[in-house]
Structure 1
Amino acid sequence: MRIDIENLHVAYAGRTVVAGAHLIAAEGEITGLVGPNGSGKSTLLRTVYRHLKPSAGRVLLAGTDIRRMAPVESARHIAALPQERGSDFELTVREVVAMGRTPYKRAFAGEDAQDRDTVAGALADVGMEDHAGRRFTALSGGERQRVLLARAFAQNPDVLVLDEPTNHLDVRHQVELLALLRAQRRTTLVSLHDLNAAASACDRLHVLHAGAVIASGPPREVLTPDLMAEAFGVRAAVVEHPLTGDPLIAFDHRAPAGAEPTTECHR
């Protein structure tokens, strides 16, 4: 299913955080949101999974305004991995993942064979099947992240909304997670701080700055030295990745954009 965000405005605490955003997450593609801290990425995503209500504009799921859908209906189509990740579940790993089946269950209904198979498959997808009986609170941050992603998979959604899903993961698990998202080929809207990961994983990028979308397109077209300076305030060169051919961004860690570069190394 396709997501269309039209003229979205979101404000809270008397401040406009997203101002007139327009963007598309095409069916079956990974669409990335990138931008500096405070640019509105998380706020925009929260409107997609209905944690926040926009002050203007709308979010369309396959042409239907999600605010016109019953919450249980939208939950069957859209699953989220937010940044506010619970750490106080006094539940086992398997029980946390099984929470993803809630939109499909009537009150007090027990598990059926489909639920059990779906939960087992989700745990296997994230490499946590051997930890099903462990307490969620006993896991590391990276393990919790993978369990919560499995919960989203267990929801069997058409659309995944992921806010910084690679946080707390080591390099190997970051690579595995992004490869898994590509293999799933679900419509995915994801925010990422790592621009090189975004360039590799995403089919299309939207760059946010001060609550507005300032650039959209394939990573190769969007991630330019001028964009790095405008949106992130850094000097950068964009070259070809020697292994994948994807855009590879090399940052100047010695001087921000607009400053004179230096070759000195201070000790």
Structure 2
Amino acid sequence: MRIDIEDLSVAYAGRTVVAGARLVAAEGEITGLVGPNGSGKSTLLRTVYRHLKPTAGRVLLAGSDLRELSAVQSARHVAALPQERQSDFELTVHEVVAMGRTPYKRAFAGDDATDRDTVARALADVGLAAAAGRRFTALSGGERQRVLLARAFCQEPDVLVLDEPTNHLDIRHQVELLALLRAQRRTTLVSLHDLNAAASVCDRLHVLHAGAVIASGPPREVLTPALLAQVFGVRAAVVDHPLTGDPLIAFDHRAPAGPKTPAPAEVPTGG
């Protein structure tokens, strides 16, 4: 299913955090949000998984306003891995992942064969099949991250919304998670701080600056040295990755670009 975000604005504590954002997450593609800290990425994602209500604009799921769906209907279509994550579950890994089946069950109903198979498959996907009986609180931060991703998979959603999903993961599990997202081919909207990861895994990028979307397009068209200097305040070269051919950003750690200037109102967008 496709996500369309139309003229979205979000404000809280008397401050506008997202202002008039327009973007698309195409069906079956991985769409990335990148931008400096405080640019509005997490706030925008929270409106997609209905943690926040926009002050203006709307989020459309396959053409229908997402907020007109019931909570259960929304949970069957959209699953989220937010940054603010509970870590006090006194449950086993299997029980945490099985929570993802809640939108498909009547109150107090037990797990059936479909539920058990879905949980087992999700745990296998994130490499934690052997940890099903362990306590969630006994896991490392990276393991907890993968358990919560498995819970999102268990919802069998049409759309995945992931806010910094590689946080707390070592390099091997970062690579495996990004490869898994590509293999899933679900409509995915993901925020990433790692621009090289975003360039590698995303089909399309939207760059946020001060709450506005200022550039959109394929990573190779968006992640230019000029934009990196303008938005992130860094000096960088963009070359071809020697192994994959993806854009690879080489940052100059000795000579930063200097103070950032105000971002342009709009950067020409790519196809």
TM-score (norm 1): 0.96
* Gap regions ≥5 residues in structure 2: 260-271
> Are residue 38 (structure 1) and residue 33 (structure 2) matched?
no
What one-letter code is carried by the residue in structure 2 that aligns with 1:236?
Answer: A
1:16 is matched with which residue? 16
2:258 and 2:81 map into 1 onto residues whose CA distance is 37
1:93 and 1:111 map into 2 onto residues whose CA distance is 15
Q: Once the 2 structures are TM-superposed, how far is the Cα of residue 108 of structure 1 from its aligned partner?
A: 1.1
> Are residue 146 (structure 1) and residue 146 (structure 2) matched?
yes
| 1:163-242 equivalence runs, <5 A | 163-242=163-242
3-state SS of the aligned residue for 1:47? helix
What one-letter code is carried by the residue in structure 1 that aligns with 2:89?
Answer: F
Provide, for residues 205-242 of structure 1, a one-character-per-residue CA deviation record: whole Å limited to 9, x for no partner: 00000000010000000000001011101111001101
1:124 and 1:76 map into 2 onto residues whose CA distance is 21
Provide, for residues 161-218 of structure 1, a one-character-per-residue CA deviation record: whole Å limited to 9, x for no partner: 0000000000000000000000000000000000000000000000000000010000
1:249 is matched with which residue? 249
1:113 is matched with which residue? 113
* Gap regions ≥5 residues in structure 1: 260-267
Provide, for residues 248-267 of structure 1, a one-character-per-residue CA deviation record: whole Å limited to 9, x for no partner: 001111222147xxxxxxxx
2:265 is matched with which residue? none
Q: Once the 2 structures are TM-superposed, how far is the Cα of residue 67 of structure 1 from its aligned partner?
A: 0.8
> Are residue 100 (structure 1) and residue 100 (structure 2) matched?
yes
Q: Once the 2 structures are TM-superposed, how far is the Cα of residue 149 of structure 1 from its aligned partner?
A: 0.2
1:233 and 1:258 map into 2 onto residues whose CA distance is 6
RMSD (CA atoms): 0.7
1:51 is matched with which residue? 51
Runs of 4+ that moved beyond 4 A: none
2:207 and 2:108 map into 1 onto residues whose CA distance is 44
3-state SS of the aligned residue for 2:196? helix
1:124 and 1:8 map into 2 onto residues whose CA distance is 37
1:209 and 1:202 map into 2 onto residues whose CA distance is 19
1:255 and 1:211 map into 2 onto residues whose CA distance is 28
Provide, for residues 19-66 of structure 1, a one-character-per-residue CA deviation record: whole Å limited to 9, x for no partner: 000000000000000000000000000000000000000000000001
What one-letter code is carried by the residue in structure 1 that aligns with 2:41?
Answer: K
